[in-house]
Every structure is written in C-alpha cells, then in structure tokens.
Amino acid sequence: MDALPASAKILLGLGLFTLLLPSVEPISCFVCSSSPTNVQCNRSNQTCPAILDMCITIIDIAGSTTSIVKQCSSSATCSAAMSQAAVDENGNGNIVNCCNTIDFCNLSGAETAAIHKALPVLSLFLLLLVAQ
Ligand SMILES: *[C@@H]1O[C@H](CO)[C@@H](O)[C@H](O)[C@H]1NC(C)=O
Ligand SMILES: *[C@@H]1O[C@H](CO)[C@@H](O)[C@H](O)[C@H]1NC(C)=O
Ligand SMILES: *[C@@H]1O[C@H](CO)[C@@H](O)[C@H](O)[C@H]1NC(C)=O
C-alpha cells in the first residue's frame, strides 16, 4: 500500500464506499402469496420500506404441490427463516432464500444470506487496509 499515492488511496476508498451504498437504498421485491410458479410470482412488486432491506422467497413443497411466497423482509427475519428452512428426504419441506443486491431477485438468481453477511465485513476490512 505504501507504493500507492494518497490520491489513489482516496479513489480506492471511494470505490469501496460506493459498493456499500446500494444496501442503504430501498430495494424492490416481487410480492406474491402461495403462487405455484415463479412466473405467477412476478406479477406484482413492491418497493420495500427502508427497514425491510431484503427480498425473501419461501418455497413450500408438499408432495406435488409447490407454493411460492415472495415479499420484502428485514434481514434478521429472513436469516432466521432461512436457518429454519429444511427439506426432508422425500423432498418435502421449505426452501428460504434471501437476497438484497439484485432488485426482483428470484430463487435461481439469488445469492444466500451467508454471502451477504460476509460482504460488508470484507468491505470494511478492505477499507481499513486502504486507510493505513
Ligand atoms: C416475469 O419476469 C420475466 C423476466 O423479468 C418476464 O419475462 C415475464 O414476462 C414475467 N412474467 C409475468 C407474468 O409478469
Ligand atoms: C413492478 O410493478 C409496476 C407496477 O405494477 C410495473 O409497472 C413494473 O413493470 C413492475 N416491475 C417488474 C420488474 O415486474
Ligand atoms: C430467475 O431470474 C433469472 C434472471 O432473470 C431467470 O433467468 C431465471 O429463469 C429465473 N428463475 C426462476 C426459477 O424463475
């Protein structure tokens, strides 16, 4: 880092800061309740209130019946739901997915909450490195 001129450090710092910004802005989520398919799930959407910073997708599977719920969620609620989600050996149960980087995330496009939790920590770490 010593080789970098001060201006480069500032630019690098600003770049990282910009990366952190999107999580502050409201996100938009598809909203649906008990839809059998993802396609039906994207008929309506909502810009989430600021405190609801994640989109949650809950897929309930019971035999041949699939029910998908999507809505805005707080990250705490979403992680809690995700940690309790489970599918048994017959493929029945529920799958929960949380995402906050992509507007209108769906299950296949979504990343896991674990990845999102790691990102801000990593960014902070890099920011501290740059600040030295
Ligand atoms: C669902 O979203 C996809 C991709 O954005 C779009 O192509 C499709 O038309 C949407 N379906 C409905 C029913 O809105
Ligand atoms: C979200 O909803 C608005 C209003 O119904 C609609 O105009 C817009 O196309 C929707 N966006 C997506 C990505 O489905
Ligand atoms: C999720 O979204 C991606 C990109 O819009 C699309 O290609 C994919 O088919 C979607 N997955 C489902 C299950 O709808």
| Position 8 pLDDT exceeds 80 | no
For 87-116, write each residue's pLDDT tens digit. 999 989 999 999 887 666 766 433 333 334
Ligand 2 in reach of 67 Cβ (< 6 A): no
What's the whole-model pTM score?
0.62
Lowest mean pLDDT among 45-59, 60-74, 91-105: 91-105
- The two most distant CA atoms of the chain are separated, in Å, by 62
Q: Which domains does the chain have, with CATH numbers?
A: 26-116 (2.10.60.10)
Looking at the CA of residue 104, tell me the nearest atom of ligand 1.
5
Secondary structure element (H or E) that encloses residue 18, with its range: helix 6-20
Q: Given the CA of residue 43, which atom of ligand 1 is nearest to it?
A: 14
Closest residue by CA, ligand 3 atom 10 = 108
Closest CA to ligand 1's atom 11: 39
Does residue 6 have a pLDDT over 80? no
The average confidence (pLDDT) of the chain is 74
Cβ neighbours for 49, distance < 8 A, ≥ 6 positions apart: 26, 72
Crossing angle of the two packed helices 6-20 and 113-131, in degrees rounded to 10: 160
Which carries the bigger pLDDT value, residue 115 or residue 48? 48
**What's the pLDDT at 120?**
45
pLDDT in tens, 11-39: 555 555 444 444 567 888 989 998 888 88
